Amino acid sequence: MKKWQLAPLLSLLLQTFFSLLSPSLSRDNITLGSPLAYPDTLVSSRNTFALGFFNTSNSSRWYLGIWYTITPQIVIWVANRKNPMPDPNGSLYINSDSSNLQLKTNSSDVLWQASSSSMVDPIAQLYDTGNFVLREKNANKITWQSFDYPTNTLLPDMPFGWIAGQNLNLTSWTDSDNPAPSNYMIKLDQTVWPEIIIWNGSKPIFRTGPLDGYELSSGSPQFDNNKELTFEYVSSQNEAYIKYMSTSSQKLRLVLEHSNFRMYRFDDAETEQKWDLDWSVPDLKYPCDKYAICGEFGVCNSSNNCTCLTGFVPTHEMDWKDSETSQGCKRRDDQLNCTNDRFLSISNVKLPDTTNTTVDRTIKLKECQRRCLKNCSCYAYSNINRGIGCAMWMGNFTDIRKLDQGGSTLYYRVARSELHGTNNLAKKNAAVIATSAILGLLFLASVAYLVHKKFKQKAELLAYSERHSHTSQESSQTLSMIRSCILEEGSRKGNAFNLPIVDVDVLLAATGNFALENKLGEGGFGTVFRGRLEGGERIAVKRLSYSSTQGLSEFKNEVILIAELQHNNLVQLLGCCIAGEERMLIYEYMENKSLDTIIFDKSKSSQLDWPKRFEIIMGIARGILYLHQDSRLRIIHRDLKASNVLLDENMNPKISDFGIARIFGRHDNDSVTNRVVGTYGYMSPEYAMYGVFSIKSDVFSFGVLVLEIISGDKCSGIFGVEPKLNLLSYAWTLWNNGNVLNLLDSSISKNSNDESEIIRCIQVGLLCAQDRPEDRPHMSEAMLMLNSPNMILPLPKQPGYIGDRCMDNMESSTSYMSHDTSITILEPR
Ligand SMILES: *[C@@H]1O[C@H](CO)[C@@H](O)[C@H](O)[C@H]1NC(C)=O
Ligand SMILES: *[C@@H]1O[C@H](CO)[C@@H](O)[C@H](O)[C@H]1NC(C)=O
Ligand SMILES: *[C@@H]1O[C@H](CO)[C@@H](O)[C@H](O)[C@H]1NC(C)=O
Ligand SMILES: *[C@@H]1O[C@H](CO)[C@@H](O)[C@H](O)[C@H]1NC(C)=O
Ligand SMILES: *[C@@H]1O[C@H](CO)[C@@H](O)[C@H](O)[C@H]1NC(C)=O
Ligand SMILES: *[C@@H]1O[C@H](CO)[C@@H](O)[C@H](O)[C@H]1NC(C)=O
Ligand SMILES: *[C@@H]1O[C@H](CO)[C@@H](O)[C@H](O)[C@H]1NC(C)=O
Ligand SMILES: *[C@@H]1O[C@H](CO)[C@@H](O)[C@H](O)[C@H]1NC(C)=O
Ligand SMILES: *[C@@H]1O[C@H](CO)[C@@H](O)[C@H](O)[C@H]1NC(C)=O
Ligand SMILES: *[C@@H]1O[C@H](CO)[C@@H](O)[C@H](O)[C@H]1NC(C)=O
Ligand SMILES: *[C@@H]1O[C@H](CO)[C@@H](O)[C@H](O)[C@H]1NC(C)=O
Ligand SMILES: *[C@@H]1O[C@H](CO)[C@@H](O)[C@H](O)[C@H]1NC(C)=O
């Protein structure tokens, strides 16, 4: 009998003992009958966060808050910021009538409450994400959550922006002792086009720059370059927000402290556990962070100096000391002639303040330019969302930052006379070169027209000139000048943004009559030659090999559409040329040729170490994502492969030959084609066998490409003795045998820190190359997987290789019949 009584008593004692000793046994929720009172706390299920009462310093101010369970105590959320309790003797409970969550002092004043609709069996629970949630016990519908009322901290995966009809904001604590909101606030601002802005009252002090597509690029190196987090922008009919995901195994938090938005990372090394500051914006080290530091029409450049836009001079002729620069710049020649102005462009910039901007998401660059020219107070325009849509700045604009790479291109209005005069000698030269190039183009065009029949003889006379040699920066500047001149020329003729239609004579001269020694390569769509224009700019010219099914104007329209696609990871189409039956495309010249010339060449492949290869993979992914998702055309490339990925002087990958399928008149809205264009090995099974293609066919090719980049072997390589394997089947075999790292190119030096990233990339490659299109991820998902070390990836299923068909030296054209569809396989190489 005694024994029987002892057991419950003992367990009760034990429970009390443990609950006193170890907070991890404490509860994570409040229900109707169980309020929370000091000194109890709620602790989330995996012991990450605690909720309870805390005081700051000596004060007699007490708050209800959430903090990390790790020391030092870092508070991430405060309920009663403005209404402290005089002593800890209060309680947090659920009101049985209203289901509201209430904080009551000892004297029964309600200091704070979370409103909710009435519920059966309500429960308030602290999640391990740091979210404190009020809901019905047996339903998942949340009626209130602390994530909707952030204070000064943004946690991973916490939506920030327009949610449930309100625009969330963070405000910093008044000081380290007082959580009451200060004057500093950060929010996702939507004047017209979302960007993150830190405000001091009603004055902006830092802008990230507007969202470009779905990427958040701030033009602030410390913000952009941190690899520990990736931002994601989510928008739907009712909501638009960003959130960040941590790619680090360490705890991260973003917090607004005083006027600075900061990222902290928890260093959990045994010796010293502490939060390290990773970055902070604005940062005194980067004066360009400071809002409008260079004033109107001023540009803060990447060495943190102020300059004026071309055509502008400092408002006060004075030394550019920090304190003086905010006066900005003014037009050198004040006379804007409304109807007869022109536009200059500046690329790689953080776009100016968007307060006085109008946005039209449906029109494209050429229409944008036409509208801006018509409206005299439109001082600048730009693409938004990487190509779709138009933004126009009305009146003076400010806060432009020049970046080393990335960013957008801003087209700004100047007086026509600015074509010739600039202070800057280099720019002057460029302008002169550009002018002569234009005049040269026009002159040649008319001459060519007159002596069309003699054009062969004449072409020989046009000697390939190497008189001017230019650095790549100068020539890209000149090219952009040419572009803007042509822009302007086109607008005068009433058809804005004419794609440069280049005369064949110019190309003959540039390529030495398409001399064999200038041949760069041959692809399924034609032969590529290198060339150098009169002014010294280098170009690549592709002579299309078989004639288009399209008419001339249709061809031009397609080329113009494709030329408007602009992305850092796409090769820029500069113009086209039509001469009789012959059609040519003019591209920017890529210093380092194509990816295949490096990775498959054992003497060169060591140039690309693993981090570089990873960057190349990411760059290609971004380019494809743009084609699939962010450009209005929704282009399926259909011939992604190593030789179609070109590398610029910094080894940045740029995809070429995109949209060519459109030029040949096979529009992407048919999903079945009777002419398969592509390269064996990169072709998805459904495309190669049935001519069925979709964006998932590109995903397949991307998967193969990823494996090639990792292994340095062609997809058609032969591995093993019996049975003979191609790259995909080889990778799949290694995967199943658990020794997938054997795939790695032997020229990559082994670094165990990279191993998990390499394995993840291989897994993503295999996922992309799965047999069934519906199993393959979308490019956006593939990118997320590549970017998130902590994400648990699905296991790949069998890849879609078709026997040993991954052959290298296919005949240039093979036809066979399959399922009533005639298939032509062209092997470009
Ligand atoms: C609430 O906390 C108690 C522990 O006090 C726990 O047993 C219960 O499962 C929790 N309820 C929910 C829904 O998690
Ligand atoms: C909170 O107040 C108590 C006295 O009530 C004091 O001993 C303690 O140091 C205070 N806490 C902090 C964090 O200052
Ligand atoms: C606490 O109070 C003492 C004396 O009032 C003061 O010297 C000290 O600076 C205070 N500490 C904080 C953190 O405010
Ligand atoms: C809280 O209430 C208890 C009695 O319930 C009292 O002894 C204690 O002094 C109170 N604490 C404060 C800080 O007022
Ligand atoms: C708090 O309330 C209790 C009774 O509920 C009372 O005994 C105590 O004195 C009160 N404390 C204060 C500081 O008001
Ligand atoms: C910031 O958010 C709070 C709610 O958390 C809201 O009351 C306030 O109006 C917001 N401020 C601005 C400027 O949006
Ligand atoms: C914020 O504004 C106040 C008042 O205008 C000013 O004193 C303070 O220096 C500003 N802070 C920053 C960081 O610019
Ligand atoms: C930035 O501007 C300064 C002043 O005009 C100039 O000396 C410097 O070369 C520029 N830096 C870059 C990277 O353009
Ligand atoms: C440009 O900025 C650097 C510091 O970032 C400074 O040392 C240099 O003097 C500046 N140059 C000019 C021309 O202002
Ligand atoms: C725009 O800038 C010019 C100088 O270029 C200045 O004279 C004018 O006042 C500015 N306009 C506004 C509205 O700030
Ligand atoms: C603009 O320039 C054109 C051509 O030079 C001229 O006819 C026109 O009068 C000018 N308009 C203004 C407002 O200056
Ligand atoms: C927007 O336009 C108004 C009126 O011209 C001007 O006062 C204001 O400074 C402009 N804002 C920005 C950020 O350019």
For residue 122, whether the previous peptide bond is cis, meaning omega lies within 30 degrees of 0, is no
SS3 of 356-398: CEEEECCCCHHHHHHHHHHCCCEEEEEECHHHCCEEEEECCCE
281 within 8 A of 220, measured Cβ to Cβ: yes
55 Cβ closer than 6 Å to some ligand 3 atom: no
CA dihedral 715, 720, 721, 723 (to 10 degrees): -70
Task: Select from 566, 402, 588 the least CA-distant residue to 478.
Answer: 588
Strands 110-114 and 101-104: what pairing?
antiparallel
Q: Which two tokens stand for residue 764?
A: 């993503």
Phi, psi of 319 (to 5 degrees): -70, 140
Q: What's the pLDDT at 678?
A: 64
Tens of pLDDT, residue by residue over 161-171, are 998 889 999 99
Sheet order of strands, 153-154 included: 153-154, 252-257, 260-267, 274-281
| pTM, full prediction | 0.60
Residue 99 confidence (pLDDT): 86
The one-letter code for the residue type at 802 is: I
**Where does the pLDDT of residue 816 fall: very low under 50, low under 70, confident under 90, or very high at 90 and above?**
very low
All structural domains of the chain: 26-149 (2.90.10.10), 159-291 (no CATH), 292-428 (no CATH), 472-588 (3.30.200.20), 596-818 (1.10.510.10)
Residue 239 is predicted with a pLDDT of 83
| Cβ proximity of 587 and 574 under 8 Å | yes
**pLDDT confidence of 549, banded at 50, 70, 90?**
low
Is 770's pLDDT higher than 90? Answer: yes
- Residue 13 and residue 634: Cα distance in Å, rounded? 67
Average pLDDT over residues 209-216: 68
Tokens 């909101």 locate to 181
* CB neighbour list of residue 675: distance below 8 Å, 6 or more residues apart: 666, 691, 822, 823, 824
CA-proximal residue: ligand 9, atom 12 (nearest): 305
List residues bridging with 230 in a β-sheet.
245
- Token pair belonging to 658: 């995109």
List the catalytic residues.
Answer: 639
Question: Which range has the worst mean pLDDT, 186-195, 304-313, 636-645, 778-787?
Answer: 186-195
H helix and E strand count, the chain: 17, 43
d(CA 408, CA 402): 10
Sign, Cα dihedral of 788, 791, 792, 796: negative
The pLDDT of residue 522 is above 60: yes
Mean pLDDT of 146-150: 96
Q: What is the DSSP string of 27-70?
A: -SEEETTB-EETT--EE-TTSSEEEEEEE-TT-S-EEEEEEESS
Task: Give the pLDDT score at 719.
Answer: 67
- Compute the distance from residue 615 Cα to the ligand 2 centre, in Å: 50
- 37 within ligand 4 shell (Cβ under 6 A): no
Kindly give the number of the ligand 4 atom that is closest to the alpha carbon of 89. Answer: 1
Peptide bond into 282 cis (omega under 30): yes
Q: What is the mean pLDDT of residues 328-357?
A: 87
Q: State which of 327-331, 382-386, 667-671 shows the largest mean pLDDT.
A: 327-331
- pLDDT of amino acid 435: 44
Q: Write out the E strands in 616-703.
A: 645-647, 653-655
pLDDT 10s digits, 732-756:
989 988 888 889 988 888 777 888 8
- Which structure tokens are listed for 382? 């730009």
| Chain CA centroid to CA 378, Å | 28
pLDDT in tens, 416-440: 877 654 434 334 344 444 444 444 4
d(CA 157, CA 242): 9
CB distance 169 to ligand 6 below 6 Å: yes
- Both structure tokens of 88: 């800890």
Is the shortest distance between the CB of 115 and ligand 11 below 6 Å?
A: no
d(CA 536, CA 650): 21
How many whole angstroms separate alpha carbon 135 and alpha carbon 117? 10
The residues lining ligand 5, judged by C-beta closer than 6 Å to any ligand atom, are 87, 89, 106
Q: Which ligand minimizes its atom distance to the CA of 175? A: 3
Cα(480)–Cα(519) distance, rounded to whole angstroms?
25
CB 368 within 8 A of CB 383: yes
Task: State the amino acid at position 541 in one-letter form.
Answer: V
SS3 for 617-641 is: HHHHHHHHHHHHHHCCCCCCCCCCC
DSSP secondary structure string, 528-541?
EEEEE-TTS-EEEE
Distance, in Å, from the CA atom of 27 to the CA atom of 125, rounded to the nearest integer, reads 9
Highest-scoring range by mean pLDDT, 334-348, 625-639, 771-785, 807-821:
771-785
Residues of 339-362 as b/e, b for ≥16 C-beta within 10 angstroms?
Answer: eebbbbbbbbbbbbbbbbbbbeee
Residues in the chain: 829
Out of 298-307, 372-381, 424-433, 601-610, least confident range? 424-433
Q: Please name the residue whose Cα sits nearest to atom 11 of ligand 5.
A: 106
pLDDT band at 466 (very low <50, low <70, confident <90, very high): very low
Query: What does the pLDDT read at residue 559?
Result: 79
Q: Which of 244-253, 283-292, 672-681 shows the lowest mean pLDDT across its residues?
A: 672-681
From the CA of 382, how far away is ligand 12's center (Å)? 18
**Does the Cβ of 123 fall within 6 Å of ligand 1?**
yes
Return d(Cα 694, Cα 696) in angstroms, integer.
Answer: 5
Can you tell me the distance from the alpha carbon of 715 to that of 723, in angstroms, rounded to the nearest whole number? 16
Q: Which two tokens stand for residue 165?
A: 């009809």
Average pLDDT over residues 671-680: 56
What is the Rg, in whole angstroms, of the alpha carbon atoms belonging to the chain?
Answer: 31
* Single-letter amino acid, residue 160: F
Q: Is the predicted pLDDT of residue 410 greater than 70, yes or no?
A: yes
Asked if residue 654 lies in contact with residue 570, where contact means CB atoms within 8 angstroms, the answer is yes
Annotated binding site: 542
Paired tokens of 348: 């790689």
Residue 277: per-residue pLDDT: 92
Are 539 and 464 contacting, i.e. CB atoms less than 8 angstroms apart?
no
What pLDDT is stored for residue 802 in this prediction?
Answer: 54
- Per the CB < 8 A criterion, the answer to whether 436 and 322 are in contact is no
* 32-71 pLDDT tens trace: 989 999 899 999 999 999 999 999 877 689 999 999 999 8
Average pLDDT across the chain, whole number: 78
Minimum CA distance residue for ligand 8 atom 5: 307
- Is residue 822 scored above 50 in pLDDT? no
pLDDT interval class at 461 (50, 70, 90): very low
Share of the chain above pLDDT 90, in %: 32
Q: Tell me what pLDDT residue 165 has.
A: 84
Assigned token pair, 805: 């068909």
Supply the DSSP symbol for 514: T
Angle between helix 365-374 and 472-492 (nearest 10): 60
